[in-house]
Structures are given as structure tokens and as C-alpha cells.
Amino acid sequence: MKNGNILIIGGYGEVGGKIAKLLLQSYPNRIWIAGRNIDKARQFCIQQDRLAMPIQMDVSKKVHPEQLESVALVIMCLEQKDTAFVQLCLKKGIMYIDITASYTFLKKLEELHPLAAQNHATAVFSVGMAPGLTNLMAMHAAKQLSTLEKLHISILIGAGAIHGTAAILWILHQLNQPFSSYNNQSVANFTNKRTVQFKKIGKCSVYQFNFSDQHTLTKHFPSIPIETRLGFDVESLNRFVSFLQKSRIAYLLKFNRIQTLLASLIQKVKIGSDVCGIQIEAIGKKHHKEASYTLDFLERDESLVTAKVAAFVVKELLSNKHPAGAYHIEELFTLESLQAQFEMSIQ
């Protein structure tokens, strides 16, 4: 049912709204904007000249199958606690895209591969800038070497960009959630600083952070050290977050109210720019000699980058035949196929 409607859950949010605007250029009158707040959904659709339709839907509660009639594809822009809604989509043969960066939830989504395959549905995860573009860039960089020995993924986010509340809360929440690295050692988020030279930006501090790409990429490179780091374009903010992590103050961030207050403050106080960047450094051997390969990406507006990646995957799924099942983005697509969406130079 590729001619059906496109349902965007959280479609009036920071990222969802940009995905909707991009898709309306190709699929007018086929976009459904869904969320708990029907007034926000309606207002968004009015702003789009009513070329999109508002839908009230709360995926944290039971969604009736009738609500998904005539839906060809779902784009999930919200964090979920369980996979009940995803399973409903797949059972109905609906294509599904998720932009979550939470590896804990992505592991649950991976387990739905048999269900998706059985119902001839395709689900794509790790869709966005990180994870997403980082996965594709890492795969491309690794292929430039004969033997891969280590992979560094460095993500730069502009402190002055307009970030959605959910994205900020996710980062704050991670500060109190240690994770297991490639060698099963416990790592605290925003520690183990590394200095990276970003093209056109200069040297920036980046710190280990629990983005899912470093975990999912181990499926392709088992036993290879893969580390993802995050940093902001304002060094004073990097030092502040690092201080939060090292001090007992970070303990307060486990309380939802404190997280919400700090997220609100971050959105109001604008420092830095809206730049966003990725650098991949693959280290290993080429023709039996020590070698490394570096790949850089620089853009503005991280949420728009995620929206462009999601819009690309939507058009691919609706226009071309892809295998049924549940996949991470790098299992179905390559960096070359996405290159046209950005001004990206692939060596």
C-alpha cells in the first residue's frame, strides 16, 4: 500500500515538523500530523495551508488498529517505553521509521525483525544525524582500509541551535546513566576527553557519550574498538557539562523536574552557533601498512539534518522495493546514496 498516507508521530515537534515540511513537497495531502495535543497538530496543519491532516494519537496508550487504516508508513519522532505500537504497525504490514537514539530501545526494535518479515513490512532504525549519518559515514570510512583496528566517531553540536525539549532531556538523562564500552568496561557519559580538529571549525573537545551507533556497528566490526564522542562548539559549555559529570551536582539530574528546568534554561540561553558536524577517523592498515582515513561532515541545524535523512529514507521506501524485516540504516543504504541530500565530498 505504497500510495497510502504517511503518519508522523510527534509531527508538530522540532524534528517532526521539519520532516513534514520536507515531505509535503513530494506528498501533499498524504501527511498526517499526530500527537497527544490535537490543538498543536491543527495549528501546524493550518500553517502548511492545510496540506496535512491533524490526528490525535497517544502511542503511550493503546492505539486502535482502525486509526491506522490507509496508512502506508509511520515515522516515529517520540521516545517510547515499549514496542506495542511498533508491533501493531508491523502486523498491519505498515512500513516504520524510528529516529530514536536510545540503544536500549533500539535493541528491543531489533527483536522485531521476524515479525516485520512475516508481515512483509520494512522497518528502518538509526535514522537521523546520530545515529544515522554517523553509521553510514563510519561504514564508508572503514571500507577505505584493508584492516580496521579502531573507529572514532566524533559529533559536534552547536550550542546555539534550536533543540527540541526531548533531545535536550535525552542528553541530560544520559549524564547519570553509565554504559558499557566495546570491552564491557563501564563508562560515564561525557568523560574521556579527546581533541578533534573539525574542518572549518577548528579544535574542539569531545567526550565519550552513549550514542547507539558505536553499539550497533559492532554487528559489522566485532571486537573492534568503536567509540562515539560528543562535544559542543562552545568550550566553556563543554567544561561546564564535564564539571557536572564529575561533581555531585550531576546526581540531581536524575530528578525529572530538575531535568525539565535545566532543559528550559538551555533553550532560553543562546550561546554558540547552530553548526553541527561529524568526523569519522578509521585507523588500521592498507596494503599491509599502518594507515588512517578521516571523513568530515559539516552543516547547520542538527534537527534539519535528521529531517533530511528521514525524508530520504521515506522516499526510498515508498519508491523502491526493499527487503522485509527490521534494519538499521547502514544495512539498507550507503553514504553514496545519501550524498545528494547534502553538500558532501566523499573521497
C-alpha cell recorded at residue 164: 527540541
- Give residue-wise pLDDT tens across range 50-65: 999 999 999 999 999 9
CB 125 within 8 A of CB 329: yes
pLDDT at 339 over 90: no
The Cα–Cα gap between 169 and 172 comes to 5
| Alpha carbon distances (Å) from 285 to 4, 218, 279, 295, 313 | 48, 19, 19, 16, 33
Tell me, what's the pLDDT at 280?
Answer: 98
What average pLDDT score do residues 327-335 get? 97
Please, which pLDDT band fits residue 140 given cuts at 50, 70 and 90? very high
pLDDT at 253 over 90: no
The Cα–Cα gap between 175 and 191 comes to 10
Tell me, what's the pLDDT at 252?
Answer: 61
| Lookup result for grid cell 524510528 | 98
Average pLDDT of the chain is: 91
53, amino acid identity: M
pLDDT at 347 over 60: no
pLDDT at 67 over 90: yes
CB 276 within 8 A of CB 301: yes
What average pLDDT score do residues 233-246 get? 86
The Cα–Cα gap between 151 and 141 comes to 9
Question: Helix or strand or coil: residue 218?
Answer: helix
Calculate ∠ Cα 153-155-160, nearest 5°: 180
The Cα–Cα gap between 94 and 88 comes to 9
The Cα–Cα gap between 144 and 158 comes to 29
Phi, psi of 213 (to 5 degrees): -55, -40
pLDDT at 43 over 90: yes
C-alpha cell recorded at residue 51: 496540506
**Domains of the chain as residue ranges with CATH:** 5-127+303-333 (3.40.50.720), 129-302 (3.30.360.10)
CB 139 within 8 A of CB 330: yes
pLDDT at 309 over 80: yes
pLDDT at 127 over 80: yes
pLDDT at 33 over 70: yes
Question: Helix or strand or coil: residue 256?
Answer: helix
- Give residue-wise pLDDT tens across range 151-177: 999 999 987 775 556 666 677 777 778
**Reported pTM:** 0.92
Tell me, what's the pLDDT at 164?
Answer: 55
CB 322 within 8 A of CB 188: no
pLDDT at 25 over 70: yes
The Cα–Cα gap between 97 and 132 comes to 12
